[in-house]
Chain A
Amino acid sequence: MLRFISGRLLKAVVILICITVLNFFLIHAAPGDPAAVMAGEAGDADPAFLQQLRERFGLDKPLYVQLWIYVSSVVQLDLGYSYRQQLPVLQLIGERLPATLLLSLSAFVISLGLGVAAGAFASARQGKWADTIISLVALIFYATPLFWLALMGVLLFSVQLGWLPGFGYETVGANYTGLARALDIFLHLILPAMTLGLFFMAVYARMTRASMLEVGRLDFVKTAKAKGLRPGVIQHRHVLRNALLPVVTLAGLQAGQLVGGAVLIETVFAWPGIGRLMFDALSQRDYNLLLGVFVVSAAMVLLFNLITDVLYRLVDPRIKVAS
C-alpha cells in the first residue's frame, strides 16, 4: 500500500509540473507582453514593475531558460507575487485554503453519502413511485446550474425564511470563540455545502442506481438468491459492495468538477476560499494569482483522486493481491 501511495504521489508531482509548464505557455500565449500578463492590471501604470518582472523571470532570455526559471520557482513552492494585493500568492492561497477544504470535503461527504443511499434505495424499488421520484429529482439536480441553485437557496432559506445565513464564513463582528464559533461556522456552511453537494449527489445517485441494477443481474446474485438469502441482505452484502466500485471511480473523476463547482459556490456565498480568490483575481485581472489558484486547485483534485484510489483498493481485493 505504501508503495502504491508513493507511486501515486510521484505521478501527482509529475502532473503538477506539467500544469506549471502549461501555465507558463499560457502566459506566453496570451495576447500582450508576458510581463504585463504576470503583473495584471497592476503593471499597466508602472513600467518599473514590468522591468523588475522581466529581470526576475529572465523574460529577455531564451524561452527554455524562462521555462526553467518559472518551473523551478514553482517547484520550490514559490507561486509568485500578487502585485494587485501586494502579497505573495502562496500566502494568499494559504489563508483561504482551509475554508475551501472544509467546503469541498463536506460537499464530497454529503454527495457521496446521500447519493449512494438514494441510489441504493431507488434501485431496490425499481419502477415503484419512490424510484420514480428519486430518479426525477436526481435528473433535475443534474441539470441545474450550480450558481443558480445557490442563488435560489439564498433567496429561499436566507432572504425569505431567514433560517440560515447566506453570506460569508462566520458572522462578522460577532467574535465568537470555541464551540460557539464552530456552531456559527457550521450554520454558515450548511447552505453552500448542501448546494454544492446536491448536484454531485444527483450524479452519484444516478450512477449507484444504474450500477446496482447492473450488478443485480449478475450470476452471483442468483447464487445468493438460491441460498435463500433475503432480498435486503442480498442488496447490501452482494449488490451494493460490487456496485460501489464504479461509483468510487466516478467520484475520483468528479473531484475536478467539485473543485470547479467550489469556485461558483464561493462566489455566490462570499465564502472566503480559493474559489472566491479566483473570482477576485478574475475581476482584477490578477493573472499571477489566477494561475496560482489554478495550480493549487489542481493539487486538490490530485489529492481527491488519491483518496478515491486508496478507497478503491480497500474495496476490491483483486487489485490488492495482484500487485
Chain B
Amino acid sequence: MKDFWKRFSQNRGAVVGLVILLLVVVLSIVAPFIYTKSPWAMVQRPFIPPFTMDAFVLGTDPMGRDLAAGLAHGARVSLLVGLVSTVVSLLIGIPIGAIAGYFGGWVDDLLMRFTEFFQSVPSFALAVVLVAIFQPSIYSIVISIAVVSWPPVARLLRGEVMSLRSREFVEAAVLSGQTHSTIIWRQILPNTLSPIIVLASMMVAAAILIESSLSFLGLGDRNIMSWGYIIGAGRTVIRQAWWVSFFPGLAILLTVLALNLVGEGLNDALNPRLARKGR
C-alpha cells in the first residue's frame, strides 16, 4: 500500500487529477447544503453575466436560474451516473469476458460474436435510440450507457484470462484438484484486478461524457439538473450568453480530465513494470 502511494504520487498529473476529483466529489456532497433551493428555481433576472453579482458568481441562464447552483447540483448527477453505469457495465463485461477466456472453444466463440456485435454498433447512436425508446429517465440513461460500454471490459478480461489461463500457476491449480470456480476466483480474477481498476476509472470518465451528450440532445432526465442539459439549454443563446454553455463544459472537461489522470496514475502504481517501461 505504501509502495502504491509512492508510485502513484510520482505521477504529478495523477496527483493533480486526484485533487480536482476530490474537489468535485466534495462539491457534489455539499451542493444541497450551500444551494438549498432547487437549481430549477428562478432566482434573478435572466442573462446576468458572470462575476458581476456576488450572490450569483457565474451569472444566470435565460430562465433566470443560478448557474452556480446548477453546476453544483449537476456534479452529483454526473458522478453518480458515471459511477453506477460503470459498475453495471463491469457486472456485464467481467462475467462474459471471464467465461469466454476461461472456457474457450465454442463458449468463447459465441460470447465473442455477441460482444463483437455490440462493438460494431455505433455506441452513441445505440445509447440515443435506447434512451429515446425507453423514455428518458435516470434509469434508462444508466442502463443504456452500461449497455454500450461493457464490450471493452469483456474483451480486456477475456484477453487477461486467456493469458493467465495458460500460465503455469493456473495449470498447477488444475493439477492440484481445484475446481473451476476456485481457480477463477482465487487464481485468475485477483490477477486481473489492476487492469480492471485502471479501465474502470477511464470508463467513469467516458460515461460522464456520454451522459452529458445525451442530456445535451434533450435526452436527460427531466427532473434532474445536469451539466449536459445546461449546455444544451444555453446552445440557442450562445451569442448573447456564452457563459451558460461555457462553465458547465469546463466542469465536464475538468472532471473527465481528472478521472483520466487518476487512471494513468493508477496504471503506474498498479503495473509498476509496465509503467517504468512506459515513461
Q: In the complex, A22→B124 CA distance in Å?
A: 16
Q: How far is the CB of B274 from chain A (nearest CB, A)?
A: 9
Distance, CA A237 to CA B122, complexed state (A): 34
State the majority secondary structure of interface residues on A.
Answer: helix
Distance A285 CA – B209 CA, assembled complex (angstroms): 24
Which of A48-56, A66-74, A227-235, A261-269 contacts the other chain?
Answer: A261-269
- How far does the Cβ of B50 sit from chain A's closest Cβ, in whole Å? 15
B261 interface residue (CB < 8 Å to A):
yes
Interface residues in A69-111 by Cβ distance below 8 A to B read: none
Say whether B252 faces chain A, with CB atoms less than 8 Å apart. Answer: yes
- Which of A19, A143, A210, A264 has the most CB atoms of chain B within a 10 A radius of its CB? A143
Interface residues as binary, A141-168 with B (CB distance below 8 Å gives 1, 0 otherwise) = 0111111110110110001000000000
| Cα(A143)–Cα(B231), bound, Å | 16
Q: When chains A and B are docked, how far (Å) is the Cα of A147 from the Cα of B99?
A: 38
Q: Does B119 contact A (CB under 8 A)?
A: yes
- State the majority secondary structure of interface residues on B: helix
Question: Is there a chain A Cβ closer than 8 Å to B18's Cβ?
Answer: no
* Chain A residues in 8 Å Cβ range of B212: 145, 147
Q: Decide: A19 near B129, CB < 8 A? Known: A147-B213, A148-B245, A213-B278.
A: no
Contact (Cβ within 8 A) B253 A297: no
Q: How many chain-B residues does the 8 Å CB contact rule pick out? A: 45
Interface members, chain A 271-323 (any B CB < 8 Å): 278-279, 282-283, 285, 287, 290-291, 293-294, 297-298, 300-302, 305
Pair A154/B121 contact, Cβ less than 8 Å? no
Residue numbers in B under 8 Å from A140 (CB-CB):
253, 257
**Taking the complex as formed, is B135 at the interface, i.e. its CB lies under 8 A from any CB of chain A?**
yes
B121, A19: Cβ atoms under 8 Å? yes
Give the contacting residue for A267; candidates B125, B217, B246; CB below 8 A.
B217
Select which of B126, B216, B245, B257 is within 8 A of A264 by beta carbon.
B216
User: Please, could you name 17 A-B residue pairs with CB atoms under 8 Å apart, sorted by A?
Assistant: A15-B120, A29-B133, A31-B134, A140-B253, A143-B256, A143-B260, A144-B253, A145-B216, A148-B245, A155-B238, A256-B121, A256-B123, A267-B217, A282-B218, A290-B128, A291-B129, A293-B125
